[in-house]
Amino acid sequence: MAIAMRKAGCCLVVVVVVAMAVVMGAGAAGRCDAGQLTVCAGAIAIGSRPTAACCSGLRAQQGCFCQFAKDPRYGRYINSPNARRAVSSCGLPLPSCH
């Protein structure tokens, strides 16, 4: 049961991040691309170790973290302890959004 819940949560995160990429891509003139974070779904959903591709995506979108975090539809994923761990594991500073 727990494994099924984790898989469902992971799938939900992927769907949300892809939807976020579509929404953000249309309004951000190409600068912020949440689609680059889909490779981080496992790290964010279940706390697995972030891959090199995930770290690369996080690095590329580092300037957009606060924008993503403030969006009420996606903030809970971006602000989650697992997402914060992924950012730290990739050697990036945690954003301080005001």
- 74 within 8 A of 20, measured Cβ to Cβ: yes
As for how many domains the chain has, the answer is 1
| Burial of 21: CB neighbours in 10 Å, binned 0-12, 13-18, 19+ | middle
* Cα 80 to Cα 95: distance, rounded to the nearest angstrom: 13
Q: What is the pTM of this model?
A: 0.69
Residue 61 in any domain: the answer is yes
Q: What is the CATH number of the domain that holds 83?
A: 1.10.110.10
Q: Domain residues for 54?
A: 35-90
Q: What is the pLDDT along the chain (98 residues), one digit of tens a residue?
A: 667 656 655 544 444 444 344 344 434 445 898 888 999 999 999 999 999 999 999 999 999 999 999 988 778 988 999 999 999 999 999 988 87
Residue 56 in any domain: the answer is yes
- 61 within 8 A of 55, measured Cβ to Cβ: no
* Cα 89 to Cα 93: distance, rounded to the nearest angstrom: 10
Residue 39 in any domain: the answer is yes
